[in-house]
């Protein structure tokens, strides 16, 4: 034992001596390296380098070699004043969402994504930035729209539509905005004002349905190069429903028409509500298979709800899942608010065509209700015709709000849900028709 201790002590002394002998050389090497560093990079140069890396400098003195999220060259305007303008636009969207309450669930994530996308240097919306990753994982492959449709289906009650089936005509009439805009876009292309292909015009026209998921779905199929601009336009107009629709509704109706009261015609049984989603999906499979991804997801969510035996799944679809996907979808759409992608002629023209399509769809629904009132039977309040666009349930809430401005006791919300739900199905069918014709 004594021999072992002596041997261990000798080994420790030897190691300490070796370490002590090498220490001066190591210290001298470190000192030399530090001295060389300070000689080659003075403190003032380091401060200058830091100032050059700031966002302020990037806006004032744009990097001539900077690329956008797609690796393409950017103009000096997009690198500087363009970003400033888009940041101010996102602040305006914040104001609309928070102060005015215009669909904050959509508008806040989109606006914040736009703010992040316009931060210079960081390249957050690039291929490896987290906004770019979100966009690629859920928007470019159609996953987010399909999950959103599942959640919307779980929150939808087909009762008002089944109780008064003729309101489905209002949802169908509102799709005129889609096909009318398609014809208009093609005509403008033929006249040389724009240069959109038939596939691109089809993808743009779907904005008239005010259905963000469907717009993303069809753009991915027909015009993936315009996906970002179409997604931004569609979701922007969905959020702007309370601003865009009321003036059109009031201009096309009289005071007497706005005061028309509607009553529930009959009670809808649970069996009817179970059969309806299966029937609609079966018809889509037989007639228009191209529309089944969206209609199938929508009917799946609704079937879970009406079955009454999977409350946990239904609750997940209605709340946690759709909320999570809405956050990601909003940020992904907002990533396309980058100045170099938004402040370009094609996007501006898509925004213009989109507002025309949405306005025509709103007007078509209102006018169809007025035509229906010319025939005998229960009168329809034309205000619910505007809910024929598929912005669920925003358009139905707007119909109810405008109606209550003229009669506080006139509750139109449930009646407006009929054409609103029909509009969701109609826009999915319209997308299937366009894909089957032009893909």
Q: What is the pLDDT of residues 58-109, one digit of tens each?
A: 788 887 777 776 677 788 888 889 999 999 999 998 998 898 887 788 889 9
Beta-carbon contacts of residue 407 (< 8 Å; ≥ 6 apart): 258, 259, 261
Distance CA 388, CA 176 (A): 10
For 83-156+164-260+280-438, CATH number? Answer: 1.20.1530
Distance CA 24, CA 19 (A): 9
Distance CA 75, CA 79 (A): 6
Q: Domain residues of the chain, as ranges?
A: 83-156+164-260+280-438
Rounded to an integer, the average pLDDT of 9-26 is: 46
Six-digit token pair at 69? Answer: 């999220």
Residue of 381, 385, 387, 382 lying closest to 420 (CA atoms):
387
Q: What is the pLDDT of residue 40?
A: 58
pLDDT band at 151 (very low <50, low <70, confident <90, very high): very high
Q: What is the DSSP letter of 73?
A: B
Residue of 152, 101, 383, 412 lying closest to 277 (CA atoms):
152
Beta-carbon contacts of residue 222 (< 8 Å; ≥ 6 apart): 199, 200, 202, 203, 434, 435, 438, 439
Q: CA distances (Å), 352 to each of 178, 220, 338, 358, in order?
A: 14, 21, 18, 10
329 has a pLDDT exceeding 80: yes
Residue of 134, 361, 355 lying closest to 233 (CA atoms):
355
Neighbours of 259 (CB within 10 A): 15
Distance CA 330, CA 108 (A): 8
Q: What is the pLDDT of residue 8?
A: 45
Beta-carbon contacts of residue 215 (< 8 Å; ≥ 6 apart): 203, 206, 207, 209, 230, 231, 233, 234
Beta-carbon contacts of residue 364 (< 8 Å; ≥ 6 apart): 173, 174, 175, 176, 177, 180, 385, 388
Distance CA 374, CA 379 (A): 9
Residue of 334, 275, 330 lying closest to 303 (CA atoms):
275
Rounded to an integer, the average pLDDT of 380-389 is: 91
Per residue in 217-255, pLDDT tens? 998 889 888 887 888 888 888 878 888 899 999 999 999
80 SS3 class: coil
Q: What is the pLDDT of residue 298?
A: 95
Residue tagged 């399909």 (tokens) = 146
Mean pLDDT of the chain: 84
Element (H, E) at 226: none
Q: What is the pLDDT of residue 14?
A: 45
Per residue in 163-195, pLDDT tens? 989 889 998 888 888 888 888 788 878 887 778
Distance CA 390, CA 208 (A): 9
Examine residue 393 and say whether the peptide bond preceding it is cis (omega within 30 degrees of 0).
yes
């Amino acid at each position: 034992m004594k021999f072992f201790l002596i041997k261990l002590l000798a080994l420790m002394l030897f190691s300490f001596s070796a370490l002590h002998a090498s220490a001066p050389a190591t210290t001298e090497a470190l000192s030399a390296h530090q001295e060389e560093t300070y000689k080659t990079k003075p403190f003032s140069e380091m401060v200058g380098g830091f100032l050059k890396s700031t966002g302020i400098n990037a806006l004032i003195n744009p990097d001539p070699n900077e690329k956008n999220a797609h690796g393409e060259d950017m103009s000096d305007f997009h690198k500087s004043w363009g970003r400033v303008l888009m940041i101010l636009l996102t602040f305006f969207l914040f104001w609309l969402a928070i102060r005015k309450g215009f669909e904050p669930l959509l508008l806040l994530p989109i606006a914040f994504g736009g703010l992040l996308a316009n931060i210079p240097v960081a390249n957050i919306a690039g291929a490896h930035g987290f906004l770019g990753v979100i966009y690629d994982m859920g928007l470019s492959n159609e996953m987010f729209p399909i999950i959103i449709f599942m959640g919307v289906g779980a929150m939808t009650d087909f009762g008002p539509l089944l109780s008064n089936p003729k309101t489905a005509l209002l949802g169908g009439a509102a799709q005129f905005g889609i096909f009318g805009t398609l014809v208009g876009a093609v005509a403008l292309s033929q006249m040389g004002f724009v240069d959109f292909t038939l596939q691109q015009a089809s993808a743009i026209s779907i904005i008239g349905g005010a259905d963000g998921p469907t717009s993303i779905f069809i753009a991915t199929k027909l015009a993936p190069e315009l996906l970002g601009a179409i997604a931004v336009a569609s979701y922007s107009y969905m959020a702007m429903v309370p601003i865009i629709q009321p003036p059109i509704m009031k201009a096309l109706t009289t005071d007497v028409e706005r005061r028309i009261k509607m009553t529930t015609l009959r009670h809808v049984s649970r069996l009817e509500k179970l059969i309806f989603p299966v029937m609609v999906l079966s018809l889509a499979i037989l007639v228009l298979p191209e529309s089944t991804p969206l209609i199938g997801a929508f009917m799946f969510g609704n079937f879970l709800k009406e079955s009454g035996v999977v409350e946990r799944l239904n609750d997940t679809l209605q709340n946690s899942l759709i909320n999570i996907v809405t956050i990601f979808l909003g940020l992904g759409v907002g990533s396309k608010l980058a100045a170099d992608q938004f402040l370009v002629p094609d996007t501006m023209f898509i925004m213009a065509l989109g507002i025309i399509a949405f306005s025509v769809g709103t007007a078509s629904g209102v006018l169809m209700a007025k035509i229906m009132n010319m025939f005998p039977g229960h009168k329809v309040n034309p205000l619910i015709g505007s809910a024929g666009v598929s912005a669920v349930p925003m358009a139905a809430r707007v119909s109810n709000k405008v109606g209550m401005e003229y009669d506080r006791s006139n509750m139109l919300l449930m009646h407006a849900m009929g054409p609103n739900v029909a509009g969701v199905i109609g826009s999915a069918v319209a997308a299937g028709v366009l894909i089957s014709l032009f893909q």
